[in-house]
């Protein structure tokens, strides 16, 4: 791996997770406030995450296995916020603590 | 207030004092990079660094002990068993820390031999404390285990959180035993040493802080036990599922078999996923309670914990965890940057949150707020993010010039250390370190005065 590729790949890996976090936060805020704008912002973050993953897969010198792992991770990121949210609502609802906007 | 909670306050006081020592040693260690001549042959960089990282471990450990001594009697509905021994253990631990610190400052190192291992410095990062002190820490952890298990037995009651805590205490104790033997084969030594360092920080401590946060959330937000315990089980399972074999990312370059590259990379890459769930959970909780709680500093520090953990451990960790990147980044300031952010996010913020909770009750304050905590919260977090950012720049410069271009030669090391990118990062780190220190001073002021200066029982805003 060349020196430039090193920094580029590492930077993209960090930003990949950061946008995953951005998606999680904006998705949760969108569900909390029941506002589509926030949800759209969240999905825009996720779209950027997919784009970063595509760039990593297409251009980085990472081995094939790590590229497959990145693809799998990005799919997992898509599922985590909605699944977590649904489970949170269910457990809180059962305990009478549901969020009421 | 239970006697156990009085002991907890002593632990918190000691933890915050040591937090200050850690900052002073950290600032000194940072300054060596700007002026390497300072205190040359009097108190070298290595000793400042040892103080900085060893005190980090001890202040967090004391914070955890304090948190458990605080919550345990309320959780089990009775006074903690064996408090007399626990108090002795507290004073023994404090005395041991003082003596070890004095030896590190005034004696520093000795000849290669058993005497040095027993009485001066074991020389293994994070567990440099001489053997007698390591045995003392082991004894203190044993006393702590006795307190927790004994109280549960005496109360004839066990909750989900306490059950997880008890199970966690076994590896917490057993893993520390690795600090005692001096193995001469470096690969074998590092292999086991990483069990201690990684399994404490990314497994047993994660579970411990999970239990503490579960107890804190019940008190802070009145969250129901069922919710808290369900999420504790899920998060502990996910964190352990990824964290235990994530150990492999420390085995890349120490002479272990090649398969660790795959195992370490794979499980480390999964480590951010449960942290994302925690972030979503934090946003949900903030919405349910509309960013209001009867203890605002504690609430904000709990939120900072969720976000700090995700960014510090998740984002910073994933950047450098795959073997092809780690080949260049390990052992540089890049790792230091990750360490600072992750420790702060995962543990530092949580301990501070619990201290605010404890103060609210011990000072009988119905609503805790004010101005000073906001300043300390902002300065500590901005300072920390600034330090982590600056160290990242320096670390990337090292990986770029020293490793990728220079091929890790001594000359390349020296060139990288004098590169403008590296040096500017070091200056920035010191500057943000000062900011962090100012935040600490305000934190101490606030902890000493909060609830005493403000009206007791002031109007409580509507919290859901």
Name which of B263, B318, B396 to mutate to probe chain A: the one with the most chain A Cβ atoms within 10 A of its Cβ: B318
Of B58, B24, B48, nearest to B437 by C-alpha is B24
Note down pLDDT in tens along chain A; length 101 residues: 899 999 999 999 999 999 999 999 999 999 988 899 999 999 999 999 999 999 999 999 999 999 999 999 999 999 999 999 998 888 877 776 655 54
Q: Using CB atoms within 10 A of its CB, is residue B238 exposed (0-12), middle (13-18) or buried (19+)?
A: middle
Shortest distance, CA A11 to any CA of chain B (angstroms): 6
Of the two residues B13 and B230, the one the predictor is more confident about is B13
Distance CA B176, CA B127 (A): 9
Distance CA B61, CA B133 (A): 15
If you write DSSP's letter for every residue of B26-84 in order, what string do you get? Answer: HHHHHHHHH-TTTTTTTS-HHHHHHHHHHHHHHHHHHHHHHHHHHHHHHHHTSPPTTHH
Output the pLDDT for position B282.
Answer: 84
CB burial of B432-464 (b: ≥16 within 10 Å; e: otherwise) equals bbebbbebbebbeebbeebbeebeeeeeeeebe
Which CA distances in Å does A70 have to A49, A63, A67, A74, B315?
10, 11, 5, 6, 14
Nearest chain B residue to A84, by CA = B277
Asked if residues B317 and B349 have their Cβ atoms less than 8 Å apart, the reply is no
Nearest chain B residue to A85, by CA = B280
Nearest chain A residue to B324, by CA = A62
Half-sphere exposure of B270 (CA within 13 A, CB side): 18
Q: Using CB atoms within 10 A of its CB, is residue A17 exposed (0-12), middle (13-18) or buried (19+)?
A: buried
For B298-333, the pLDDT digits (tens) are 999 999 998 898 999 899 999 999 999 999 999 999
Q: Which two tokens stand for residue B383?
A: 């300072």
Question: Nearest Cβ partner of B322 from A27, A66, A94?
Answer: A66
Q: In the CATH hierarchy, which top-level class contains the domain B1-180?
A: mainly alpha
Q: Is the pLDDT of residue B148 over 90?
A: yes
Structural element, H or E, at residue B342: helix B333-343
Output the pLDDT for position B460.
Answer: 47
pLDDT above 70: percentage of residues in chain B: 97
Of B358, B380, B348, nearest to B15 by C-alpha is B348
Among A43-52, B25-34, B44-53, B222-231, name the one with the lowest average pLDDT: B222-231
For B408-445, the pLDDT digits (tens) are 999 999 999 999 999 999 999 999 999 999 999 999 99
- Is the dihedral angle over the CA atoms B252, A10, B342, B448 positive or is it negative? positive
Say what the ipTM of the complex is.
Answer: 0.90
Mean pLDDT for chain B? 91
Half-sphere exposure of B156 (CA within 13 A, CB side): 0
Within an 8 Å CB–CB cutoff, is residue B273 touching chain A?
A: yes
Asked if residues B447 and B377 have their Cβ atoms less than 8 Å apart, the reply is no
pLDDT above 90: percentage of residues in chain B: 74
CB atoms within 10 A of CB B84: 8
CB atoms within 10 A of CB A64: 8
Distance CA B311, CA B298 (A): 20
Structural element, H or E, at residue B379: helix B372-397
Q: Is the pLDDT of residue B289 over 80?
A: no
Can you tell me the mean pLDDT for B13-27? Answer: 97
Distance CA B246, CA B248 (A): 5
Q: Where are the domains of chain B?
A: 1-180
Output the pLDDT for position B453.
Answer: 63
Within an 8 Å CB–CB cutoff, is residue B411 touching chain A?
A: no
Half-sphere exposure of B301 (CA within 13 A, CB side): 29
Within an 8 Å CB–CB cutoff, is residue B158 touching chain A?
A: no
Question: Nearest Cβ partner of B280 from A11, A24, A73?
Answer: A24
Q: Is the pLDDT of residue B357 over 70?
A: yes
Q: Is the pLDDT of residue B161 over 50?
A: yes
Residues 6 or more apart in contact with residue A68 via CB below 8 angstroms: none
Phi and psi of B451, rounded to 5°? 85, -15
Q: Which two tokens stand for residue B405?
A: 């271009």
Q: Which residue has the tokens 């802080």?
A: B209
Shortest distance, CA A81 to any CA of chain B (angstroms): 6
Output the pLDDT for position A79.
Answer: 94
Output the pLDDT for position B464.
Answer: 37
Nearest chain A residue to B276, by CA = A21
Asked if residues B222 and B208 have their Cβ atoms less than 8 Å apart, the reply is no
Within an 8 Å CB–CB cutoff, is residue B266 touching chain A?
A: yes
Identify any residues that bridge with B368 across adjacent strands, giving them in sequence order. Answer: B295
Within an 8 Å CB–CB cutoff, is residue B72 touching chain A?
A: no
Output the pLDDT for position B225.
Answer: 87
For B53-108, the pLDDT digits (tens) are 999 999 999 999 999 999 999 999 999 999 999 999 999 999 999 999 999 999 99
Question: Nearest Cβ partner of A76 from B273, B288, B310?
Answer: B273
* Subunit contact A92:B227, Cβ cutoff 8 A: yes
Asked if residues B332 and B403 have their Cβ atoms less than 8 Å apart, the reply is yes
Supply the pTM of this predicted model. 0.92
Q: Where are the domains of chain A?
A: 3-94
Output the pLDDT for position B463.
Answer: 42
Of the two residues B229 and A45, the one the predictor is more confident about is A45
Residues 6 or more apart in contact with residue B91 via CB below 8 angstroms: none
Distance CA B308, CA B341 (A): 7
Asked if residues B18 and B97 have their Cβ atoms less than 8 Å apart, the reply is yes
* Dihedral (Cα; B97, B99, B101, B102), 10-degree rounding: 160
Q: Which SS3 state, helix, strand or coil, does residue B368 take? A: strand
* Subunit contact A13:B404, Cβ cutoff 8 A: no
Output the pLDDT for position B291.
Answer: 64
Contacts of B319 in chain A (CB under 8 A): 10-11, 13-14, 17
Output the pLDDT for position A20.
Answer: 95
Asked if residues B172 and B208 have their Cβ atoms less than 8 Å apart, the reply is yes
For B450-463, the pLDDT digits (tens) are 988 654 444 444 44
CB atoms within 10 A of CB A68: 12
Q: Which SS3 state, helix, strand or coil, does residue B295 take? A: strand
For B192-218, the pLDDT digits (tens) are 999 999 888 888 998 999 999 999 988
* Opening angle at CA B380, ends B379 and B382, nearest 5: 60
Structural element, H or E, at residue B237: helix B225-243
Identify any residues that bridge with B295 across adjacent strands, giving them in sequence order. Answer: B368
Shortest distance, CA A37 to any CA of chain B (angstroms): 17
Output the pLDDT for position B354.
Answer: 97
Residues 6 or more apart in contact with residue B401 via CB below 8 angstroms: A3, B412, B415, B416, B419, B422
* Subunit contact A95:B318, Cβ cutoff 8 A: no
Strands (E), B83-197: none
Among B180-184, B318-322, B397-401, name the one with the lowest average pLDDT: B180-184
Q: Is the pLDDT of residue B345 over 50?
A: yes
């Amino acid at each position: 791996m060349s020196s430039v590729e090193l920094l580029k790949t590492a930077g993209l890996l960090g930003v990949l997770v950061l946008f995953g976090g951005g998606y999680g936060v904006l998705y949760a805020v969108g569900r909390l406030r029941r506002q589509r704008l926030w949800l759209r912002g969240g999905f825009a973050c996720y779209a950027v995450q997919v784009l970063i993953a595509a760039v990593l897969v297409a251009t980085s010198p990472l081995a094939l296995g790590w590229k497959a792992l990145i693809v799998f991770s990005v799919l997992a990121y898509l599922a985590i916020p909605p699944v977590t949210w649904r489970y949170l609502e269910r457990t809180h609802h059962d305990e009478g603590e549901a969020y009421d906007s | 207030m239970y006697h156990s909670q009085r002991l907890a306050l002593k632990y918190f006081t000691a933890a915050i004092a040591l937090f200050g020592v850690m900052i002073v040693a950290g600032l000194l260690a940072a300054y060596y990079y700007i002026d390497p001549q300072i205190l040359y042959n009097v108190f070298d960089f290595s000793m400042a660094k040892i103080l900085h990282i060893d005190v980090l471990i001890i202040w967090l450990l004391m914070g955890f002990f304090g948190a458990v001594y605080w919550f345990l009697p309320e959780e089990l509905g009775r006074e903690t068993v064996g408090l007399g021994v626990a108090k002795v253990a507290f004073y023994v631990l404090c005395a041991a820390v003082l003596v070890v610190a004095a030896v590190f400052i005034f004696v520093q190192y000795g000849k290669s031999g058993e005497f040095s291992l027993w009485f001066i410095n074991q020389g293994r990062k994070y567990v440099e404390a001489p053997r007698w002190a390591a045995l003392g820490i082991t004894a203190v952890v044993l006393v702590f285990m006795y307190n927790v298990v004994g109280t549960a037995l005496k109360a004839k009651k066990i909750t989900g959180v306490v059950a997880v805590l008890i199970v966690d205490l076994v590896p917490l104790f057993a893993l520390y035993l690795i600090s005692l033997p001096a193995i001469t084969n470096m690969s074998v030594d590092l292999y086991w040493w990483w069990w201690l360092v990684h399994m404490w920080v990314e497994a047993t401590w994660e579970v411990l802080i999970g239990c503490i946060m579960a107890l804190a959330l019940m008190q802070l937000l009145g969250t129901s036990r069922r919710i808290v315990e369900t999420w504790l089980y899920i998060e502990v399972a996910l964190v352990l599922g990824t964290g235990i074999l994530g150990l492999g990312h420390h085995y890349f370059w120490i002479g272990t078999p090649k398969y660790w590259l795959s195992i370490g990379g794979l499980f480390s890459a999964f480590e951010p996923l449960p942290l994302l769930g925690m972030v979503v959970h934090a946003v949900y909780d903030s919405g349910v309670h509309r960013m209001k709680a009867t203890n605002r500093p504690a609430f904000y520090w709990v939120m900072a914990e969720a976000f700090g953990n995700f960014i510090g451990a998740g984002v910073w960790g994933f950047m450098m965890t795959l073997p092809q990147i780690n080949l260049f980044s390990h052992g540089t300031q890049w790792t230091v940057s990750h360490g600072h952010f992750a420790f702060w996010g995962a543990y530092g913020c949580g301990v501070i949150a619990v201290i605010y909770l404890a103060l609210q009750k011990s000072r009988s304050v119905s609503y805790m707020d004010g101005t000073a905590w906001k300043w300390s919260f902002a300065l500590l977090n901005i300072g920390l993010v600034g330090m982590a950012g600056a160290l990242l720049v320096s670390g990337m410069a090292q990986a770029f010039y020293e490793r990728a271009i220079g091929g890790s030669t001594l000359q390349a090391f020296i060139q990288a250390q004098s590169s403008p990118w590296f040096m500017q990062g070091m200056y920035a780190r010191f500057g943000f370190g000062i900011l962090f220190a100012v935040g600490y001073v305000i934190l101490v002021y606030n902890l000493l005065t909060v609830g005493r200066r403000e009206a007791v029982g002031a109007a409580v805003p509507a919290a859901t």
